[in-house]
Structure 1
Amino acid sequence: MKKLNSFFVALLMLAAFGLHGQTYNEYEISFGNRVHHEANIKVKFSNLENKVLEVRMSRSSPGRYAVHEFAKNVYAVKATDSKGNELTVTRSDPSQWNIANHDGTVNFEYTLYANRAGGTYSGIDELHAHLNIPATFIWAKDLGHRPTRLKINIPEGSNWKVATQLKDEGNNTYYAPDTYYFMDSPILIADLHMRERMIDGQNIRLALNTRATDAEVDDYFEEVIKIVEQQKAVFGELPKFDFGEYTFLSNYMPNASGDGMEHRNSTFVVSSKPINRALGNTSMGTMSHEFFHAWNVERIRPASLEPFNFEDANMSGELWFAEGFTSYYTNLIRARSGNITKEQYVNGLGGAVGYVINAPGRMYFNPIEMSYRAPFVDAAASIDPDNNANIFISYYTYGSVLGLALDMSLRSMDNGKNLDDYMKHVWKTQGKNEIPYSVRDLQNRLEEYAGKAFADEFFSNYIFKSDMPDYEGLFKKMGVTFKNTNPDAPTLGGFIRINNGIGRLTGNATIGSPLYEAGIEREDKLISINGKSLVGLKNVNEIISSLNPGDQVSVEIDRWGEKMTKTVTLAANTSMRTGWDQNADAQAQKRREDWLKKK
């Protein structure tokens, strides 16, 4: 999450030479009631000043941008002093506990309920403990500079092993140099499959919790290593991992929540894979995405996220780059490593590009402003309806297709330029020395790499505004086709689910679509189209497929008990697909080969 400063280095030296004198925040966790998803947690704060100790539970978590009220799962709170005398605990807000009149020591104890194993939350059961630190452990204000020590009590009779980026001190005790690093260090405890490989003097580890044979895990790990090597080739080197190690914490269990979450020297990759399903390529795209974050977001880091605020939402205008460009590389790296075929990769590009081109959200927000919306959409919880279907495009998708366009634009200049080398330039100038960046810094780095005119045009049109590049022309230069799959097919412009003869839109009517222009919304019940009942139908295309774009149809609806008929003018299908251009010229074929080949 942050660079190694002199304080961090000094702490490492103290740990290495076994020196004493540091006051630790001491944590202990036990799993006596794990069958009911509970953990017992004890924290000792000592050598305290004579003032109120303010203990907090985080409200946000590294890699997430919205607020999550983790304190809701904390209860049975108790505080005692060094002699075991119970102390009064008061509350100043929902996420804070205040303890006064202590004797310089506070032993803080609580029960945690945890039943959502994912990137943001924690999950505990008889088979494993999946701990995201902000969702698990409290911390104390004004004591964040102190090193932490965590003792993990492994349940008797279990085969649980511990995997984490925290420093292993032996005897199931783990060290972090300060609270910030501790909060960024998830933990997976289970009967883990463990694999590791030294690459350039650093240890790459896989800690995998799933049912799989040793042979399956061996094959899986080899695929992961190929991805690691191809990502290293983009930047020219691995980051310098703290403690010389990076760990994939991979938790693939039926009761887990599919997710991926980057951390400084590790990642949580989570899948709800059924117990008996073969391991295969499970979550390999997420593995690729999250490891790329070891450079792009953890060290090539937006200034807007430095430092991360654990008490509120975190807003950044750079997520189109931090998340979006990472998403562009996710499957490109898989194609280069051989995890998927080059044809599979190319054929999968068109859907995302077509979606962004056609999305009405570009009328409202450019990529920077789309990134600002992360606190509202990034696993954010609310109960009132929103209009995101019309105003929002995921910065993952938006950024990925812009990364694709930038890569194709650079390669089409035929002067040796490409996105790989631009990313390497950003790494060397911003990331390697961990100098946080702004959008203007990214523009300046592109100017240094590809020239002022090119950088100004790209950022002016596609980042500060929401114009779209000429994808059809760019794809053609790369030996890829990009075309409408069926331009003569008529459409109502929305997905309608039919249940018991009644049709309903599955989301808000899309701005500009035939249904929207006719004044039909998701709360309306569709009864018939052109006088034909929907009873017995699975899809409205059974009625409109014989018609043409521009034809008008009558749609009978029921709106809160009142029946009415709307006239809808059918539109043409706008779905776009990419494909391998078998007729590409020699120059385009060479660009395509250079783009997709193993590095």
Structure 2
Amino acid sequence: MKPIRYTIVPSHPAAHLFQVTVTVADPDPAGQRFMLPVWIPGSYMVREFARNIVTLRAVNDAGRKVRVEKIDKHTWQAAPVKGALTLHYEVYAWDMSVRAAHLDDTIGFFNGTSVFLSPLGHEDAQCVVDIQKPQGAAYRGWRVATALPEARGTKRYSFGEYRAQNYDELIDHPVTLGEFALATFNAHGVPHDVVIGGRVIGLDMDRLCKDLKRICEAQIALFEPKSKKAPVERYVFMTQAVTDGYGGLEHRASTALICNRADLPVQGREAMSEGYRTYLGLCSHEYFHTWNVKRIKPAVFAPYDLGVENYTSMLWLFEGFTSYYDDLMLVRSGVISLDDYFGLLGKVIGGVQRGSGRLKQSVAESSFDAWVKYYRQDENAPNAIVSYYTKGSLIALAFDLTIRAQTGNRKSLDDVMRLLWKRFGRDFYRGQPVGVDESEIEAIFAEASGAQLDELFAEGVRGTRDLPLDALLAPFGVALAADVDKNGKPSLGVRLRGGADCTLATVHEGSAAQKAGLSAGDVLLALDGLRVTGGNIDALLSRYQPGAKVEVHAFRRDELRVTQVKLDGPEVARYKLALSDHRPAARKARKRWLAQ
């Protein structure tokens, strides 16, 4: 099968248009079909990337026009031709996220799922893509950042030709174009590039590389404790710093990240800010995916079907367990303190406990319904669904502590992850890929740990009962308690949308606000005749006692409503973890778990 050749040019940055071509040397004699994915792996929502194709035409190798028609929302078919067939098309790129494509006169970014049409029947053919520089002096300093291997004659970070073994590999390497800060560190001998785009003043790149190196080496050692062999020959962290943003998406040898520029470390400031700690946790999360989901995959992802939803009930394992290990790797590597880790864990526990959806939907159900519920959340989401990320991370914690307690710390969740890696991940891209079947996961846990975990699977994974985390933490000398507002401030039981107006984003089930008939979208105007805003509502509420009745004026759409609210007691902001047992056995168990 002959290689598929692509070109991509930032042809009109001000109009946010990429010009793309794809050439098939040996098209289907019956008429070649081309498909653009409807979703991107790692983000479980149909996004209809084909809607951004603005123009499309086909020509043969003589340059003559070939008839091409669209046969469904994301598939085109060209008329039969002799010789090569080339499609020319424009892609509108104005999505400043990690999932799609973006282009302006300051930066270009794209995922292959957004820009590269797949010639059906040629998915296993080698791909060559020529990434070209936009024309004009303003782009003289632009470079290319990607983990895609360079073709012969192309220098790293330069415009030119890049190669992939097949279409799956092609779309698994995002590309950043523009001017960016760049540094490299080695983690157990493997180069890791750090790319920071956007305007960042006083960036402490040395500190960032030092911290990432410790995190990466801890994760490599977890999966390969003897060889310390990373699963990649090179890795790229590419971050776009913006005014206000957060997100990441994993790929087989890189990650695309977006963060608030204020979250990046600043030269001369030794203290770790909350924002920087959050950013490191994001980096840790996406890096852990290099093993867990990019190589250890559900069977239904091996391979992906990018034309339709791919359903699995195991995202709690692939996203939830990754969410457990992301912060765990920060404390094990020594990047954050034990107190910092306890604070992060307490915040997660509080977030899960606050939503009544945890009592209605299991994490297995949440995983399966990700396409229509988790990724399409509305104002009632906390009352109806549970996050397989956050609840999944607590289930991972429960598995880890249970295995450690039952085996006297001889085994742990680390052993489960290593068995999954050995059996499914290590050779995933070296032969016929094999994913984890849902029917075998409990047996794998039992084999790796030797622990009795049936109840945890039944109640934690497939059920909706709260996890007994306080009892599980006790043998490790850690106490868990609800962190109640010391000021005793009463609560409406709502979440605000943000902004100057006091607009309700969510009304929690059974809350004071819901009992009074208030709903998401209502704009609160006054409490007992005093004007209320998004900025002063906490101060106003602090003047009342729990159980007090307050007259509330609010707009629903354009209708004024007046109601009485009987205020709830203080909300549990988060849960607090603290050391409670300093005896040798507890200290030893805790050190085996947290390396501190």
TM-score (norm 1): 0.86
Paired position in structure 2 for 1:394: 387
Instruction: State how far apart, in whole Å, the 2-side matches of 1:563 and 1:124 are.
Output: 46
Deviation of 1:373 after TM superposition, in Å, equals 2.4
State the match for 1:9 in structure 2. Answer: none
Equivalence for 2:281 = 285
How far did residue 556 of structure 1 move?
5.4
* 1:164 correspondence with 2:163: no
1:169 aligns to what SS in structure 2?
A: coil
User: Is the Cα–Cα contact under 8 Å of residues 67 and 78 in structure 2 kept in the other structure?
Assistant: yes
Q: Classify 1:257/1:92 alpha carbon distance in 2 versus 1 (closer, same or farther; 3 Å).
A: farther
Q: Structure 1 residue 305: deviation in Å?
A: 2.1
Matching residue of 2:421:
427
Q: Separation in 1 of the partners of 2:534 and 2:91?
A: 49
How many angstroms does 1:122 deviate by? 1.1
Relative to 1, partners in 2 of residues 1:429 and 1:573: Cα closer, same or farther, differing over 3 Å?
A: same
Task: Name the SS for the 2:11 alignment partner.
Answer: coil
Work out the CA distance in 2 between the residues paired with 1:226 and 1:317: 33
**1:573 Cα deviation (Å)?**
2.8
What does residue 259 of structure 1 align with?
Answer: 247
Moved more, 252-261 or 135-144: 252-261
Alignment of 1:79-158 (within 5 A): 79-155=58-134, 158=140
> Which of 555, 559, 562 is matched with 1:561 structurally?
559
Please say if residues 166 and 185 of structure 1, whose CA atoms lie closer than 8 Å, have aligned partners that are also in contact. yes
Give runs of aligned pairs for residues 64-463 of structure 1, distance below 5 A.
Answer: 64-155=43-134, 158-170=140-152, 171=154, 172-199=160-187, 202-210=190-198, 216-236=204-224, 244-254=232-242, 258-273=246-261, 278=266, 281=276, 283-377=279-373, 387-413=380-406, 414-434=408-428, 435-451=434-450, 454-463=452-461
Q: Are the structure 2 counterparts of residues 108 and 495 from structure 1 closer, same or farther at C-alpha, using a change threshold of 3 Å?
A: closer
Q: Superposed, which structure 2 residues align to 1:421-570 within 5 Å?
A: 421-434=415-428, 435-451=434-450, 454-486=452-484, 489-495=489-495, 503-507=502-506, 509-526=507-524, 529=527, 531-535=528-532, 538-545=535-542, 548-550=545-547, 553=550, 555=552, 561=559, 563-566=561-564, 568=566, 570=568
Question: How far apart, in 1, do the equivalents of 2:543 and 2:246 lie?
Answer: 40
Deviation at 1:424, TM superposition (A): 1.8
- Check whether the contact 2:188–2:229 (CA below 8 A) recurs between aligned residues: no
The equivalent position to 2:13 in structure 1, one of 23, 34, 38, is 34
Deviations 1:87-120 (A, max 9, x none): 2222212322221142232111112221224321
User: 1:25, 1:45 within 8 Å by CA — same for their partners in 2?
Assistant: yes
CA contact (8 A) 1:347 1:580 kept: no
Structure 1 Cα separation of the partners of residues 162 and 559 of structure 2: 63
SS at 2:19's partner residue? strand
The AA in structure 2 aligned to 1:495 is R
Letter in 1 for 2:412: N
Give SS of 1:221's match.
Answer: helix
Give the whole-Å Cα distance in 1 for the aligned partners of 2:202 and 2:497: 44
User: Is contact 2:33–2:77 with CA below 8 Å preserved after alignment?
Assistant: yes
Could you tell me which residue of structure 2 aligns to residue 52 of structure 1? 31
**1:16 matched to which residue of 2?**
none
Once the two structures are superposed, residues 358-397 of structure 1 have per-residue CA deviations (whole angstroms, 9 ceiling, x without a partner) of 42112321010011222135655x9xx5621211222111
Distance 1:276 1:345 in 2: 19
Q: Deviations over 1:154-189 (max 9, x none)?
A: 346523333323221133211111112212222223
SS at structure 2 position matched to 1:575: strand
How far has the Cα of 1:251 moved from its partner?
2.7
Q: How far apart are the structure 2 equivalents of 1:254 and 1:126?
A: 15
Checking the alignment, whether the CA contact within 8 Å between 2:525 and 2:533 is kept in structure 1 is no
3-state SS of paired residue (2:14): helix
Deviation at 1:490, TM superposition (A): 3.2
Partner SS state of residue 348, structure 2 = helix
1:119-140 alpha-carbon deviations (Å, 9 max, x no partner): 2111123333212001111121
Cα gap change, 1:95 to 1:255, in 2 (>3 Å): farther
By how many angstroms is 1:572 displaced?
A: 4.7
Say which is worse superposed, 306-315 or 366-375, in terms of deviation.
Answer: 306-315
Instruction: Give the counterpart letter for 2:394 in structure 1.
Output: V
2:9 is matched by which residue type in structure 1? S
* 1:543 Cα deviation after fit: 4.9
Map 1:561-580 onto structure 2 (within 5 A).
561=559, 563-566=561-564, 568=566, 570-580=568-578
**Does structure 2 conserve the Cα–Cα contact (< 8 Å) formed by 1:351 and 1:576?**
yes
Cα offset for 1:536?
A: 7.7
C-alpha separation in 1, matches of 2:14 and 2:499 = 39
The aligned residue for residue 12 of structure 1 is: none
8 Å contact from structure 1 (residues 234, 421) kept in 2: no
Alpha-carbon distance change, 175 to 241 in structure 1, aligned in 2, over 3 angstroms: farther
Cα separation, 1, equivalents of 2:78 and 2:195: 39
Q: Read off the aligned partner of 1:314 and give its amino acid letter.
A: N
CA distance in 1, matches of 2:33, 2:5: 16
Q: Which amino acid aligns with 1:161?
A: R
CA change 1:107–1:351 in 2 (3 A) is same
Distance 1:49 1:135 in 2: 23
Residue 38 to residue 535, structure 1, CA distance change in 2 (3 Å): closer
Residue segments in structure 1 that go unaligned for 5+ positions in a row? 1-21
Aligned AA for 2:577?
G
How far 1:293 sits from its partner (Å)?
0.5
Q: 1:56 deviation in Å?
A: 2.1
Q: Bigger shift: 325-334 or 179-188?
A: 179-188
Residue aligned with 1:375, SS: coil
Conserved? CA contact 2:320–2:390, under 8 Å: yes
Question: In the TM superposition, what is the alpha-carbon distance from 1:301 to its structure 2 partner?
Answer: 0.8
Q: 1:239 to 1:66 in 2, by over 3 A?
A: farther
Question: In the superposition, relative to structure 1, how do residues 419 and 314 fare at CA in structure 2: closer, same or farther (>3 Å)?
Answer: same
> Deviation at 1:277?
8.0
Unmatched 5+ residue regions in structure 2? 155-159, 270-275, 429-433
Question: 1:557 touches 1:563 (CA, 8 Å); kept in 2?
Answer: yes
Distance 1:586 1:161, change over 3 A: same
Correspondence for 2:431: none
Report the TM-score, using the length of structure 2 for normalisation.
0.86
**Change in 2 beyond 3 A, CA 1:390/1:537:** closer
Q: Distance in 2 between matches of 1:536 and 1:169?
A: 58
Count of aligned residue pairs for this structure pair = 569
8 Å Cα contact 2:319/2:392 also seen in 1: yes
Alignment partners' CA distance in 1, 2:391 and 2:400: 14
CA 1:215 to 1:64, structure 2 compared with 1: closer, same or farther past 3 Å?
closer
Deviation string 1:285-322 (CA, Å, 9 cap, x unpaired) is 22111110111111111113222121122332111110
Contact 1:65–1:315, Cα closer than 8 Å, also in 2:
no
In 1: Cα distance, 2:374 partner to 2:510 partner: 26
- On the 8 A contact 2:242/2:258 being kept in 1, the answer is no
